A and B are shown apart, each in its own frame.
Chain A
Amino acid sequence: MRSRSGIGGMSRFNVTSVALGLAFLYLPIAILVIYSFNASRLVTVWGGWSTRWYVALLHDQAMLEAAWTSLRIAALSATAASVLGTLAAVALVRAGRFRGRTMFSGMVYAPLVMPEVITGLSLLLLFVALDAARGFWTVTIAHTTVTLSFVTVVVQSRLLSFDRSLEEAAMDLGCPPLKTFLTVTLPLIFPAVAAGWMLAFTLSFDDLVIATFSTGPGATTLPMRIYSEVRLGVKPEINAICTIMIAMVAVGVVAASLLAKRGELAKARAA
């Protein structure tokens, strides 16, 4: 925001367009959140405030199981994507000009813009070709593949502004290269890695398309569960679980941006 004087500093046109834009973005979500506290069983009829659907969720074994599966997949794939994505970022920034560097960096970014249906389908074909038993692990691997690029982008931007003389100083003082990476580079880029992890976690947690392609019997993620329930009609419990998901994702995204900002601050202070 350029103007710090708030609404007073903006023209009527600006206020209107911002209000319309925000409404466009958040009105559906707001309705969902509000209706999750609806006492009525009918989704479209307001019956007063209640938290009964949240209580009902606690007894919905299938939903809880799906949530637990999603959480585990998200945590595992985010961790794997953070490790691999960080390594890719280091390779891209540090390796200088190796043969095929442009192609490599292009290939790292491609999944960001690749339609999910295509990614999902190609992963499915791969798993079938490898004759891998589809389920929990195939979804985890698929999510790692997709979210890796996001981690790479976040970590790469931090590494680009990283003062390489810090690493040189460590080596100059007798620190071998790998130890230098672990004791100097990693602690300093950690906020970016953590932000990447958060991003990967939220992406995995709310993914439907790729999970649908790459899963098998016995591993149903939360979005898949919600989708299959909604096909039979929207139940108020769905509103409740969606509200919880929104809260989780919001926390994740805010935490990621705060971590990234902290990294920026640390950098500014170091400079």
Chain B
Amino acid sequence: MAQRNPGDTGSAGEPPGLAALPGSWDELVARPLVQFESVSKRFGNFVAVERLSLDIREREFFALLGPSGCGKTTLLRMLAGFEQPSEGRILLDGVDISDVPPHRRPVNMMFQSYALFPHLTVEGNVAFGLRQDGMPKPEIAARVREMLALVKLDGFGARRPHQLSGGQRQRVALARALAKRPRVLLLDEPMSALDRKLREDTRFELMELQDKLGLTFVIVTHDQEEAMTVADRIGVMNAGRLAQVATPSDIYEHPNSRWVADFIGDVNLFEGRVVSSGLGHTVIESEAGGRLLVTHPTDASAGTAVTVAVRPEKVRIDTSASRVSDENCFAGRVVEVGYLGGVSIYKVALDNGLRMKATVANRTRPVERPAGAGDRVWLSFPPEAGVVLLR
């Protein structure tokens, strides 16, 4: 996973046009590029986005992640100008753009369907936005060449969209959206139409492009792997609200709610009550039976109902009880083993009635399985692995 440091965004290289804006330099650096200020969007009785506030920083690769219908695309379309917020303001560079029509916003979008103009050539598509600005012809030609080179489509300029493969069309759409050097590039599920292999390559190319161009990218996706790979920060959305905004590793390792923990990746959830909590450790009595010890700090007092989340790859699987301590240990029987190539998933029915998952990396060839279906096993995890969730 290529993880970049989101802390260095905004400091390197002064974005053009900032000198003309009022305010001190520190203020400008601190000010986010895009600000949603308690934005709501209703379609009739349906609330797509509800009092959502979000800051997106300059030169950031920001991902909006969520299940379908959570409002992430509506949020993106409001930023592009295709939808008007019912309430609240959207600011770009500190200026309210809520009432600016889409054709006057310095924001470009790459559409899920690519929306390439079928009656224009690849060149015509990429040049479309530049022509609207009245850019001189030689400059347009130069910029189009530059853009096609950037997306590795040199020599395809004279083709029509229907003469291109899906991957090539996606690149044309990208080149077209980037040609005007937008303040923000919006990507609406940009890779949903590509096959898996191409999708993985494209992710890294997108990240490279964003680094090279120093632009701000906002991507909407329902593919969490995609969001985790490309984004500096992820906004996880649920039912029109932001559930959590954090770096990919924080979202995964420190989810702030039961919903986020469950939505992102695979997870084992234990309902229970806090027995005692002290500095650096919390003891939880599981509802189903068994004690849990986690180092994750919590300010929940004794007796509070909490959920402990443990990722399956942090669970250890043993075939004997001898090496296992009292806490964080559950005996059970393997129900099934799912082989995924790189890892195998063990689904275990615990003696206390719960189900638990553990993933084991397949390091050897042929695969050595510690246990098969029906075998008795002991699952355990270290105190650092668990996260205590209050909601």
Chain A residues at the B interface, C-beta cutoff of 8 Å:
163, 165-166, 168-177, 180, 184, 187-188, 266, 269-270
Contact = CB atoms under 8 A, between A and B. Distances in A.
B115 A176 contact: no
Given A169-B111, A269-B162, A174 B180 contact: yes
Contacts of B80: 168, 172
B103 A187 contact: no
Given A188-B118, A270-B161, A270-B162, A172 B113 contact: no
B102 A171 contact: yes
B263 interface: no
B386 to A, nearest CB: 45
Interface stretch (B58-66, B126-134, B268-276): B126-134
Nearest to A267: B118
A185 B223 CA distance: 33
B101 A170 contact: no
Interface string B95-134: 0000001111101110111011111000000001100110
Given A269-B162, A270-B161, A172 B119 contact: no
B347 interface: no
A171 B103 contact: yes
Given A188-B118, A188-B119, A269-B162, A173 B108 contact: yes
B128 A166 contact: no
Nearest to A184: B117
Contacts, number: 68
Interface of B: 80-82, 101-105, 107-109, 111-113, 115-119, 128-129, 132-133, 161-162, 176-177, 180
A175 B162 contact: no
Contacts of A269: 118, 162
10 contacts: A163-B115, A165-B113, A170-B128, A171-B81, A172-B81, A172-B105, A174-B129, A174-B180, A175-B132, A184-B117
Contacts of B81: 171-172
Given A171-B102, A172-B108, A174-B180, A166 B133 contact: no
Nearest to B80: A172
Given A174-B103, A174-B133, A168 B128 contact: no
